[in-house]
Amino acid sequence: MMAHYLGVDVGSVSTNIVVIDEDANLEESIYIRTQGQPIKAVQECIRMLSFKKKEKWDIKGVGATGSGRQLAGVIVGADVVKNEITAHAIAAQHEIPDVQTVIEIGGQDSKIIILRDGVVTDFAMNTVCAAGTGSFLDQQANRLNIPIEEFGNYALKSTNPVRIAGRCAVFAESDMIHKQQLGYTTEDIVCGLCEALVRNYLNNVGKGKDIRPRIVFQGGVAANAGMKAAFENALGETVYIPKNFGVMGAIGAALLAKEMEVENTKFKGFQISDTDFTADSFECSGCPNHCEVVNIRMEGKVIARWGDRCNRWKSLEENNGVAL
């Protein structure tokens, strides 16, 4: 039976799970909204996978990434847990080997990754300003009464893009409303908004970065043709969008698990979709830091803890659940 590898990417907006085979071909992908409940989202993805072809999948390794990677790693039983930078870089390089710049824009944050000769040499993330992220675009599409799927196509129809202040999400929104009141067409406003968000990205996330081709654009916002065109106009270079741009983080996690070549995977199995996982926390009084320590419970039993600065509670597994 062919070996398969699972990749899990848990973010604030979406949760993605993919299955790749031993030749790194994508066999299945699941993309759902996290909706503020990462545990349920991971379980739902696993449940959806279980209705596919699980009897044909011999899972030999599991990788987890994303802002909720620690939690996802505990729930599914990950063999490798890596940050988003590493996961997105390895996925982009796998699909486009000569990539030198990765632009990644997701639901709540954006990042840039600089690669040289297959090695990450620089990166930056923006987790503060919402301008340019998927959630902001969703909001503006709703305000303009445009399906988000059609947002980019409106931008491509523009003949005279409106200049919109894109330095901040609040200013961009108020300026867009002002331009509406002045009678500009929806197409020109949408195109102007895309250009503003690209300026925001390049002036903040990409500031001081040596952006060289090939340039790969991934993350959910890569589905927006207007954003792709705006990046190409601003950079004067062709921007490539991978086939599976929306789940590249999960693909990277799966590829990392494959590289690990573990003999015995920690994968808990597809039955975890029906397992009772809960999370709670307590304040440690062991020192003046008063760390908030998070408990992850499976069927009522604590299986992991994190949040302490001194690792006092992280030693749970090594000490049979007793903190040192």
Domains of the chain: residue spans and CATH? 3-88+249-273 (3.30.420.40), 97-241 (3.30.420.40), 277-319 (no CATH)
Who's near 2: CB < 8 A, 6+ residues apart?
Answer: 21, 22, 58
Who's near 299: CB < 8 A, 6+ residues apart?
Answer: 275, 276
Structure confidence at residue 147 (pLDDT): 81
DSSP helix/strand/coil, 94 = helix
Structure confidence at residue 244 (pLDDT): 92
Between residues 130 and 194, which one has the greater pLDDT? Answer: 194
pTM: 0.85
Structure confidence at residue 212 (pLDDT): 95
Q: Judge whether 294 and 59 are in contact, CB under 8 Å.
A: no
Question: Rounded to whole angstroms, how far apart are CA atoms 181 and 206?
Answer: 32
pLDDT tens digits for 249-271? 999 999 999 998 888 999 998 88
- Where residue 83 falls among pLDDT bands split at 50, 70, 90? very high
Going by C-alpha positions, the residue among 254, 196, 222, 235 that lies closest to residue 107 is 222
46-60, 100-114, 245-259, range with greatest mean pLDDT? 245-259
Q: Judge whether 190 and 197 are in contact, CB under 8 Å.
A: no
- Where residue 17 falls among pLDDT bands split at 50, 70, 90? very high
What is the phi/psi pair of residue 110, to 5°?
-140, 155
Between residues 278 and 322, which one has the greater pLDDT? Answer: 278
Question: Rounded to whole angstroms, how far apart are CA atoms 24 and 21?
Answer: 5
Structure confidence at residue 114 (pLDDT): 96
- Where residue 168 falls among pLDDT bands split at 50, 70, 90? low
Residue 6 has pLDDT above 70, yes or no: yes
Buried/exposed code over 69-108 (b: 16+ C-beta within 10 A; e: otherwise): bbbbbbbbbbbbbbebbbbbbbbbbbbeeebbbbbbbbbb
Q: How many residues does the chain have?
A: 324
Sign of the CA dihedral running 131, 134, 135, 141: positive
- Where residue 127 falls among pLDDT bands split at 50, 70, 90? low
- Where residue 240 falls among pLDDT bands split at 50, 70, 90? very high
Residue 258 in tokens = 């494959």
What percent of the chain shows pLDDT beyond 90?
Answer: 39
Structure confidence at residue 166 (pLDDT): 64
Structure confidence at residue 322 (pLDDT): 43
Structure confidence at residue 315 (pLDDT): 59
Mean pLDDT of the chain: 86
Going by C-alpha positions, the residue among 249, 242, 202, 223 that lies closest to residue 138 is 223
- Least confident interval from 7-16, 120-129, 273-282: 120-129
Going by C-alpha positions, the residue among 277, 246, 249 that lies closest to residue 40 is 277
Mean pLDDT of 99-110: 87
Mean pLDDT of 221-234: 91
Strands 58-65 and 80-81: parallel
- Quote the DSSP letter at residue 145: T
- Least confident interval from 91-105, 125-139, 210-224, 300-314: 125-139
Mean pLDDT of 152-161: 86
Who's near 219: CB < 8 A, 6+ residues apart?
Answer: 103, 104, 105, 106, 110, 134, 245, 246, 248
